[in-house]
Amino acid sequence: MAEVKQIPLRLVSPHPKLATRLRLDVASLAALIRQSSSEDVPNGQLEPGRVVPREGGEGYYVYIGVRRFYALKSLHDETGGQRFAVFNAYVDSEKSLLSLFLRVRSENEEGKGERVGLSVLEKILGLYKIRGSIPREKLDDELRRELAVAEKLDEKGIKKLFEVETAAHFGYRLEHLERLCQITDLEDLYEAAASIAGYAIPPERMESAVEGRAEAVRILKWFGRLFPDYAANTENRRAGERQVQPQGAQQSGAGEESDAGHRGFLEVHRRDVIIVPCPKCGVENMIEVRLKAQVTRLATDPQGESVTAIPDVVVGCSVECSGCRSGFHTLIKPLEGRRYAIETSLSSRFQEPRAVVEAVDLHYDFENGQWQKVAGEKVIGLVRGGGRASTRK
């Protein structure tokens, strides 16, 4: 069995071809290592990493345990303590880059313990970095698909899509990236990618995001920050469209049925939304509530019948009105199905919710910049004010 070697930290660096991480947050791991340091394990590194000798020089490349390496380095830089100046690792003989990459992938697949599993983009980045040394005949179907995406996106594109993922709190699947790679125009690609991530669209519904990308990204607050030039282009296109719009064109008013329901499939962007009017200005605010609480009375007889009911619970939250920006308080009580009792007030004093409302599904009309209430394939009204409410429970 191979022995663990204690290697001076100065002789270790991450493998340049196997550094697949797009984000390296080591603060929590560094804290754990600091707490774990003891007489038996002076540097606090409970699990060894894996290294290979550098080519033609002194030292080693770490390819498994990169986060551990950076955590120890941060502790050593912070404290100057010599106990953190050592990296524990198994030394492997030189292997092919593909076999080393597959080992990295396997070690991180489940995200065991302090390890964080590789994302799809990180797997693709790893393949991109070693693409020139990969024997294609040794790849399985999934690796071939990932490599095809890697070769079309390149490292810059992969990192840009990671920025989109981070801003949208979303994770692309391989099917998403394969479809995006079919888009040849870079601006169209990033607009579609932002639309998919911003609205958390699954692979089977990607076409709607690809087709409506230019309009969909307009209401994503972070798109202009990530792609300022593209955001300006989108706004310029819209300005040109407004200039050529025929005079007398009409928009549906609040409460009127729009013809959007007859223009094809209506994609629902938000489900089960409660519409809450501001008690000060009357603007309708949209609130999503996810309450799954239920109470079951168990029968004394193990084979007897149990009775389940919705508990008498009232949830309170403060809301910033999307219209007048005033703060008000909302109390929500779940009833049967999609029905809720609500009470809104400028006062935080408790009042029993009495007004009964039903949650609705919403579609965003990108052409007119309005949220629409939908039932089936039909628009049944507009959200008055239509902005996004900010809620704090």
Instruction: Please report whether residue 385 resides in a domain.
Output: yes
Residues 231 and 330 in one domain: no
Among 97-101, 109-113, 150-154, 333-337, the minimum mean pLDDT is found in 109-113
Q: What is the pTM of this model?
A: 0.57
Whole-number pLDDT of residue 391? 39
Instruction: Please report whether residue 128 resides in a domain.
Output: no
Give the Cα separation of 355 and 235 in Å (integer).
41
Nearest to 385 by CA among 325, 330, 323, 326: 323
What is the identity of the amino acid at 81?
A: G
Residues 113 and 213 in one domain: no
* Token code pair at residue 351: 């009042």
Residues 224 and 326 in one domain: no
Confidence of residue 11 (pLDDT cuts 50, 70, 90): very high
92, 118, 144 — which closes off a domain? 118
Residues near 257 by Cβ (< 8 Å), separated by ≥ 6? 378, 379, 380, 381
Whole-number pLDDT of residue 116? 64
Residues 344 and 282 in one domain: yes
Contact by Cβ (8 Å): 317, 330: yes
Residues 35 and 104 in one domain: yes
Instruction: Please report whether residue 303 resides in a domain.
Output: no
pLDDT single digits (tens) 226-235: 998 887 766 5
* Between 287 and 240, residue with greater pLDDT: 287
Instruction: Please report whether residue 47 resides in a domain.
Output: yes
SS (H, E, C) the chain: CCCCEEEEHHHEEECCCCCCCCCCCCHHHHHHHHHHCCCCCCCCCCCCEEEEECCCCCCEEEEECHHHHHHHHHHHHHHCCHHHCEEEEEECCCCCHHHHHHHHHHHHCCCCCCCCCCCHHHHHHHHHHCHHHCCHHHCCHHHHHHHHHHHHHHHHHHHHHHHHHHHHCCCCCHHHHHHHCCCCCHHHHHHHHHHHHHCCCCHHHHHHHHHCHHHHHHHCCCHHHHCHHHHHHHHHHHHHHHHCCCCCCCCCCCCCCCHHHHCCCCCCCEEEEEEEECCCCCCEEEEECCCCCCEEECCCCCCCCCEEECCCCCEEEEEECCCCCCEEEEEEEECCCCEEEEEEECCCCCCCCCEEEECEEEEEECCCCEEEEEECCEEEEECCCCCCCEEEC
Q: Is the pLDDT of residue 224 over 70?
A: yes
Among 9-13, 231-235, 352-356, the minimum mean pLDDT is found in 231-235
Residues 55 and 10 in one domain: yes
Residues 233 and 273 in one domain: no
Instruction: Please report whether residue 247 resides in a domain.
Output: no
Contact by Cβ (8 Å): 50, 67: no
Percent of the chain scoring above 70 in pLDDT: 81
Contact by Cβ (8 Å): 227, 218: no
Give the Cα separation of 389 and 134 in Å (integer).
50
Confidence of residue 327 (pLDDT cuts 50, 70, 90): confident
Whole-number pLDDT of residue 252? 38
Confidence of residue 106 (pLDDT cuts 50, 70, 90): confident
Q: Is the pLDDT of residue 128 over 90?
A: yes
- Tell me which residue range forms the domain holding 210: 152-239
Instruction: Please report whether residue 249 resides in a domain.
Output: no
239, 256, 276 — which closes off a domain? 239
* Between 292 and 140, residue with greater pLDDT: 140
Whole-number pLDDT of residue 253? 39
pLDDT single digits (tens) 24-78: 888 888 888 888 888 778 888 888 999 999 987 789 999 999 989 999 999 999 9
Confidence of residue 388 (pLDDT cuts 50, 70, 90): very low
Q: Taking residues 188-209, what's their average pLDDT?
A: 87
Residues 272 and 362 in one domain: yes
Whole-number pLDDT of residue 216? 75
Number of domains in the chain: 3
Whole-number pLDDT of residue 190? 93
Instruction: Please report whether residue 186 resides in a domain.
Output: yes
Q: Is the pLDDT of residue 260 over 50?
A: no
* Between 308 and 119, residue with greater pLDDT: 119
Mean pLDDT of the chain: 81
Give the Cα separation of 69 and 53 in Å (integer).
16
Q: Taking residues 375-384, what's their average pLDDT?
A: 79
118, 137, 167 — which closes off a domain? 118
* Between 292 and 157, residue with greater pLDDT: 157
Q: Is the pLDDT of residue 88 over 90?
A: yes
CATH of the domain at 85: 3.90.1530.10
Residues 86 and 164 in one domain: no
* Between 295 and 126, residue with greater pLDDT: 126
Residues 362 and 270 in one domain: yes
* Token code pair at residue 240: 């040109």
Q: Taking residues 287-306, what's their average pLDDT?
A: 70
Q: Taking residues 194-216, what's their average pLDDT?
A: 82
Residues 272 and 235 in one domain: no
Instruction: Please report whether residue 253 resides in a domain.
Output: no
Residues 225 and 284 in one domain: no
Among 9-13, 287-291, 298-302, the minimum mean pLDDT is found in 298-302
Nearest to 289 by CA among 306, 272, 266: 272
